[in-house]
């Protein structure tokens, strides 16, 4: 797709987008897309009974209908829509999204996904990742998993900051989120309001998974720096107990009950923790994002309060669209794309050559 220079009239049609998943995150992305120039939503896919068969505008809570019916038939939507790219927001796990991603690829549609394990899929499941890469190359499309974390704060931003270092001895990344400011599903996902025993029981059954993506972030940093890790060690999520009474719209937490969780991951060489990721999300947390690089020179970066996770993820997904459309075919990570940035103005202006 060739475009006019900035300031000249744009004659090309808008970028056509299909939404695959219109839950909390997919819906937020959809509403943000409606505010952008040069882009058009042309289809919506979901399996939830309360969404299928309804107009997308109604599902999104808009005042008017959009003339797009949410469908549970991916093949039908993808065949009719002639989309350039699909925004995929359904699951955190590669094995769950593989059939969905492969279907989109076979329809010749590029994919930008919120799936955490897809951000660095080769450390998740090499076989499935290779299959997706081969399939994407065969059909001439690009697939990317990204978001705020994983996708940016605890990996891509870290990698960029190391560019000023002649030597890197160790990296420590911390993210602390006040979960009371996040949506209800997130508060429940981290176990807020549970007794400690309930939290541990749900961890064992997989009803609480902890933070998905730490392993992928460690692996991405290591690849970028050329580090040969002996091991990536992800510590099981541990409950953070409330020190006082906390109440939100969704949960009530008494002192000693679970306010959220903390989880850490390490990249290890010769027994030394050269990469440390420390993720904390609980009600009432003092928010910050911090990156400490020990090297030549040292780098100390701190963002206070932390970057909003949902708003940041929406931005990362949308801002990645033109970069994915410009990229060569295949399964990509953030390491493979051009420098991340906001895509302001008409989205078509960011696709060149």
The pLDDT tens digits for 82-110 are 999 999 999 999 999 999 999 999 999 99
- Domain co-membership, 128 together with 161: no
Residue 1 has a pLDDT of 40
- Domain co-membership, 86 together with 206: no
**In angstroms, what CA-CA distances link 15 with 1, 12, 287, 318, 353?**
10, 9, 36, 12, 15
Q: Is residue 7 part of a domain?
A: no
- Domain co-membership, 289 together with 180: yes
Residue 3 has a pLDDT of 42
Cα separation, 243 vs 182, in Å, equals 20
- Domain co-membership, 285 together with 258: yes
Q: What is the mean pLDDT of residues 155-162?
A: 98
DSSP state of 287: P
Cα separation, 169 vs 293, in Å, equals 8
Q: What is the CATH number of the domain that holds 24?
A: 3.40.50.720
Q: b or e along 320-335 (b: 16 or more beta carbons within 10 Å of the residue's beta carbon)?
A: bbbbbbebebbbbbbe
Residue 55 has a pLDDT of 97
Task: Tell whether the model's pLDDT for residue 7 goes beyond 80.
Answer: no
* Residue 162: domain span: 156-306
Rounded (10°) angle between helices 74-81 and 94-106: 40
Q: Is residue 215 part of a domain?
A: yes
- By percentage, how much of the chain surpasses pLDDT 70? 97
Task: Tell whether the model's pLDDT for residue 133 goes beyond 80.
Answer: yes
Q: What is the mean pLDDT of residues 45-49?
A: 96
Residue 299 has a pLDDT of 98
Q: What is the mean pLDDT of residues 23-43?
A: 96
Average pLDDT, the chain: 94
Q: What is the mean pLDDT of residues 241-246?
A: 90
Q: Is residue 3 part of a domain?
A: no
DSSP state of 285: P
Q: Is residue 4 part of a domain?
A: no
**φ/ψ of residue 124, rounded to 5:** -85, -55
Contact, 89 vs 29, CB < 8 A?
Answer: yes
**φ/ψ of residue 99, rounded to 5:** -60, -35
**φ/ψ of residue 212, rounded to 5:** -90, 125
Q: What is the mean pLDDT of residues 259-286?
A: 96
**Which pLDDT tens digit goes with each residue over 287-324?**
999 999 999 999 999 999 999 999 999 999 999 999 99
Hey, what are 337's tokens?
């794309």
- Domain co-membership, 85 together with 137: yes
Strand partners, 85: 17, 110
Residue 85 has a pLDDT of 98
Task: Tell whether the model's pLDDT for residue 14 goes beyond 50.
Answer: yes
Contact, 253 vs 259, CB < 8 A?
Answer: yes
Residue 321 has a pLDDT of 97
- Domain co-membership, 225 together with 277: yes
- Domain co-membership, 293 together with 321: no
Lowest mean pLDDT among 2-11, 19-28, 111-120, 131-140: 2-11
Task: Tell whether the model's pLDDT for residue 6 goes beyond 80.
Answer: no
**In angstroms, what CA-CA distances link 18 with 56, 76, 159, 280?**
12, 12, 31, 34
Residue 352 has a pLDDT of 62
Q: What is the radius of gyration, based on Cα positions, of the chain?
A: 21
Q: Is residue 8 part of a domain?
A: no
H/E run at residue 237: none
**In angstroms, what CA-CA distances link 288 with 114, 155, 174, 192, 309?**
22, 16, 8, 20, 12
**In angstroms, what CA-CA distances link 213 with 10, 123, 234?**
39, 10, 10
- By percentage, how much of the chain surpasses pLDDT 90? 87
- Domain co-membership, 103 together with 52: yes
Cα separation, 337 vs 124, in Å, equals 20
- Domain co-membership, 250 together with 323: no
Task: Tell whether the model's pLDDT for residue 350 goes beyond 60.
Answer: yes
Residue 118 has a pLDDT of 98
Q: Is residue 71 part of a domain?
A: yes
Task: Tell whether the model's pLDDT for residue 37 goes beyond 50.
Answer: yes
Residue 351 has a pLDDT of 85
Q: Is residue 5 part of a domain?
A: no
Residue 291 has a pLDDT of 98
Residue 8 has a pLDDT of 54
Q: Which residue matches tokens 């927001």?
A: 89
Hey, what are 311's tokens?
């708003």
Hey, what are 247's tokens?
């109440």
Q: Is residue 83 part of a domain?
A: yes
Tally of domains in the chain: 2
SS (H, E, C) 71-89: ECCHHHHHHHHCCCEEEEC
Task: Tell whether the model's pLDDT for residue 272 goes beyond 50.
Answer: yes
Residue 79 has a pLDDT of 97
- Domain co-membership, 198 together with 258: yes
- Domain co-membership, 209 together with 268: yes
- Domain co-membership, 67 together with 184: no
Task: Tell whether the model's pLDDT for residue 5 goes beyond 70.
Answer: no
**In angstroms, what CA-CA distances link 98 with 119, 127, 249, 310?**
13, 11, 35, 24
């Amino acid at each position: 797709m060739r475009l006019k220079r900035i300031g000249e009239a744009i004659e090309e049609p808008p970028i056509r987008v299909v939404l695959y998943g219109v839950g909390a995150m997919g819906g937020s992305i959809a509403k943000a897309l409606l505010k952008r120039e040069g882009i058009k939503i042309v289809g919506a896919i979901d399996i939830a009974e309360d969404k299928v068969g309804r107009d997308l505008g109604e599902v999104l809570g808009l005042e008017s209908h959009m003339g797009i019916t949410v469908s549970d038939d991916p093949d039908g939507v993808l065949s009719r829509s002639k989309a350039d790219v699909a925004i995929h927001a359904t699951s955190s796990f590669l094995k769950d999204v593989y059939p969905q991603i492969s279907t989109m690829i076979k329809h010749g549609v590029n994919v930008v996904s919120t799936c955490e394990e897809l951000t660095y899929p080769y450390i998740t499941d090499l076989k499935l990742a290779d299959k997706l890469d081969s399939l994407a190359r065969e059909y001439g499309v690009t697939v990317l998993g990204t978001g705020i974390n994983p996708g940016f704060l605890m990996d891509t931003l870290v990698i960029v900051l190391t560019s000023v270092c002649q030597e890197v001895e160790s990296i420590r990344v911390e993210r602390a989120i006040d979960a009371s400011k996040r949506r209800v599903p997130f508060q429940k996902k981290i176990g807020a309001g549970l007794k400690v025993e309930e939290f541990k029981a749900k961890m064992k059954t997989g009803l609480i998974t902890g933070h998905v993506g730490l392993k992928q972030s460690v692996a991405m940093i290591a690849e970028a720096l050329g580090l040969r890790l002996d091991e990536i060690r992800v510590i099981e999520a541990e409950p953070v107990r409330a020190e006082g009474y906390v109440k939100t719209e969704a949960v009530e937490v008494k002192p000693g009950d679970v306010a959220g969780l903390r989880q850490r991951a390490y990249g290890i060489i010769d027994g030394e923790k050269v990469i440390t990721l420390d993720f904390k999300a609980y009600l009432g947390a003092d928010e910050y994002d911090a990156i400490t690089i020990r090297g030549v020179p040292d780098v100390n970066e701190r963002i206070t309060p932390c970057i909003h996770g949902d708003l940041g993820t929406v931005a990362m997904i949308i801002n990645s669209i033109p970069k994915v459309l410009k990229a060569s075919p295949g399964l990509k990570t953030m390491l493979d794309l051009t420098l991340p940035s906001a895509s302001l103005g008409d989205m078509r202006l960011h696709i060149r050559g």
